[in-house]
Structure 1
């Protein structure tokens, strides 16, 4: 009788654990095509100076169980973060994502918010020539809202797809009339679009309907693909596993099969293009890995205003 009870208790715990945190997604999902030749062509079609360097600002950081963002990834924690990427360009920088406010970071469960880094990122946002996003998730677009409400000129620098624009307007009705319509190519859920010299995007719906990957070719020829939340961690692609069902479907409303298709597409692309560096949206460990990291420069912290310790709003 004791053995039966023990087995029953194990089953009660093990089955939900496997289903929520380990199940690797549908095996029959085919790889999604990532047309790198088209991205290169679009990036080259724009006249002007390409980016010369890339910097990043880690606005918020956390330690999360590996199995949360990579199904079956184990309980050992991994360093994650919310990042803004600055494409340093003669004549005007491009920013990828805008971070989030301290209040948003706490509300969404991040363990640490870094206001001294956000102050630096705010300066980037004020001076950027253009701003693009990998998705409409709050940790990508949220940091823009208080700045744009205070200075509508920032909104005129946005290049977002239709779903991202809808999300921004929902965050702040004050931005309803300030945001320009989406470029036609970015309205297409399967669209590709040139953004600026050396920069192109492709829509990758799955994590969210407005998800997209961003291709960057620097002046010296180095190439990067910002995978966005289709692949938050390097192990998503190495193991070809999506987020856990708990993270994807219980905490969010992700199309897990679609995300797995993009993950498999990235794995194939890396095999074909070994010199292309894929940048994962939340993987702080990759950024600090001297062997396989992208070797970006971290943003320098700034002095905080005397009147505030953060940017909570």
Structure 2
């Protein structure tokens, strides 16, 4: 009788644990190929100087169990972060994502919020020529809360697809009239579009309807593909596994099957193009890995007013 009770208790715990945190989803999903030749052609089609370097601002960080963002990834903690990327370009920078506020970071469970780093990212954004996003999730667009209030002209710098811009307009209805319409090249899912010299986008719906990847070729020829939330961690691609079902479908609203197809496409691309560096959306450990990471420069902190600094503790 005791053995039966023990077995029942194990099943009660083990089955939901496997289904929510370990099951990788349908293994028969065919990969979605990413046309790197097309991205290169589009990036080269724009006249002008390409970006010369890339910097990042890690505005919020946290430790997550590996199995949360990689199905079956184990309980060992992974270092994650919310990043703003700066593509330094003669004539005007391009910024990828805008960070988030302290309250938003707390809501999303980030234990370590750096207001002085977010302030640096905001200075980048205010001076930039254009702003693009890897998705419409709050940890990618939330920083607009303070930016749009500080400078309305930021709204005219936003380059997004329809799903992204509709989410931004819903969050900030008073700025609806000043937000630039979506470019024609980004209207359709799975579309490819040129953004600026050395920069192109492919829409990759799955994580969210407005998810997209950003291709960047620097002046010295180095190439990067910002995968966004499609592949938040390096092991998503190495293991070809999406987020856990708990993260993707219980907490989020992700199409895991479609996301897995893109992850398989990234794995194929990585094998075919070893010189192309995939930039994972939230992998702080990989980003700071001097051997395997991209060796981007980290943003310097901005000195905050004493009162603001104390309130941010």
Q: Same fold (TM over 0.5)?
A: yes
1:307, 1:21 → 2: CA distance? Answer: 42
Q: 2:43 corresponds to which residue?
A: 43
Per-residue Cα deviation, 1:178-229 (whole angstroms, up to 9, x for no partner) = 1011001111111110000000000000000000000000000000000010
How much does 1:150 deviate? Answer: 3.0
| Structure 2 residue 261 is matched with structure 1 residue 261 | yes
Within 5 Å, which residues of 2 pair with 1:171-190?
171-190=171-190
How much does 1:310 deviate? Answer: 7.8
Describe the SS at the equivalent of 1:177: helix
Q: 2:141 corresponds to which residue?
A: 141
Q: 1:34 corresponds to which residue?
A: 34
How much does 1:148 deviate? Answer: 1.1
Within 5 Å, which residues of 2 pair with 1:1-313?
1-309=1-309
1:296, 1:95 → 2: CA distance? Answer: 14
Describe the SS at the equivalent of 1:274: coil
**Which deviates more from structure 2 when the two are superposed, residues 223-232 or residues 184-193?**
184-193
Describe the SS at the equivalent of 1:237: helix
CA RMSD of aligned residues (A): 1.1
Per-residue Cα deviation, 1:211-260 (whole angstroms, up to 9, x for no partner) = 00000000000000000100000000000000000000000110000000
**Which deviates more from structure 2 when the two are superposed, residues 149-158 or residues 87-96?**
149-158
Describe the SS at the equivalent of 1:59: strand
How much does 1:152 deviate? Answer: 1.2
* Contact 1:164–1:210 under 8 Å retained in 2: yes
1:17, 1:32 → 2: CA distance? Answer: 29
User: Residues 310 and 265 (structure 1 numbering): CA distance in 2 closer, same or farther, change over 3 Å?
Assistant: farther
* Contact 2:68–2:243 under 8 Å retained in 1: yes
Question: Structure 2 length normalisation: TM-score?
Answer: 0.98
Describe the SS at the equivalent of 1:308: helix
**Which deviates more from structure 2 when the two are superposed, residues 232-241 or residues 147-156?**
147-156
1:19, 1:147 → 2: CA distance? Answer: 41
User: Residues 176 and 310 (structure 1 numbering): CA distance in 2 closer, same or farther, change over 3 Å?
Assistant: farther
How much does 1:74 deviate? Answer: 0.3
Describe the SS at the equivalent of 2:309: coil
Per-residue Cα deviation, 1:38-83 (whole angstroms, up to 9, x for no partner) = 0000000000000000000000000000000000000011000000
2:205, 2:145 → 1: CA distance? Answer: 23
How much does 1:311 deviate? Answer: 9.1
Following superposition, which runs of at least 4 residues in structure 1 exceed 6 angstroms of deviation?
Answer: none
1:243, 1:265 → 2: CA distance? Answer: 16
How much does 1:92 deviate? Answer: 0.6
